[in-house]
């Protein structure tokens, strides 16, 4: 299956902003692979998944930047302290 529709056109039509979907000319898989440059992420753009076992039956999963600073970690910790309703 190959889509020949503009993703932006599809999205605007789905949101009701447009009644037409733009057409994108088909290209071969080889052309697509040749045209793609390797994706290089800067450290500030990289995300790490962390898991914390809060309780025996409850695991917390959080995504954080790979270059999380100590100040940002302290801000996050301060935020978590505000969550319990006791």
Please indicate, yes or no, whether residues 74 and 49 belong to a single structural domain of this protein: yes
What does the pLDDT read at residue 1?
A: 46
Say if 12 falls within a structural domain: yes
Whether residues 28 and 58 share a domain: the answer is no
Asked if 32 and 47 sit in the same domain, the reply is no
As a three-state string, the secondary structure of 1-28 is: CCCCECHHHHHHHHCCCCCCCCECCCCC
How many structural domains compose the chain? 2
Both tokens of 72, joined, read 């940002």
Q: Count other C-beta atoms under 10 Å from residue 64's C-beta.
A: 13
| One domain for residues 74 and 47 | yes
Residue 77 sits in the same domain as residue 48? yes
Distance of CA 85 to the CA centre of its chain: 30
Domain holding 30, by residue range, is 1-36
**The whole model's pTM is what?**
0.48
Where residue 86 falls among pLDDT bands split at 50, 70, 90? confident
Q: Give the mean model confidence (pLDDT) for residues 48-63.
A: 94
Give the Cα separation of 60 and 65 in Å (integer): 16
The rounded distance, in Å, linking the Cα atoms of 28 and 34 is 10
């Amino acid at each position: 299956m190959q889509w020949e529709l503009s993703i932006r056109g599809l999205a605007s039509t789905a949101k009701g902003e447009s009644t037409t979907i733009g057409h994108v000319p088909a290209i071969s898989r080889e052309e697509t692979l040749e045209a793609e440059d390797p994706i290089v992420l800067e450290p500030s753009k990289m995300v790490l998944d962390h898991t914390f076992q809060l309780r025996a039956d409850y695991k917390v999963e959080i995504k954080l930047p790979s270059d999380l600073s100590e100040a940002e970690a302290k801000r996050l910790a301060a935020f978590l302290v505000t969550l319990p309703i006791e």
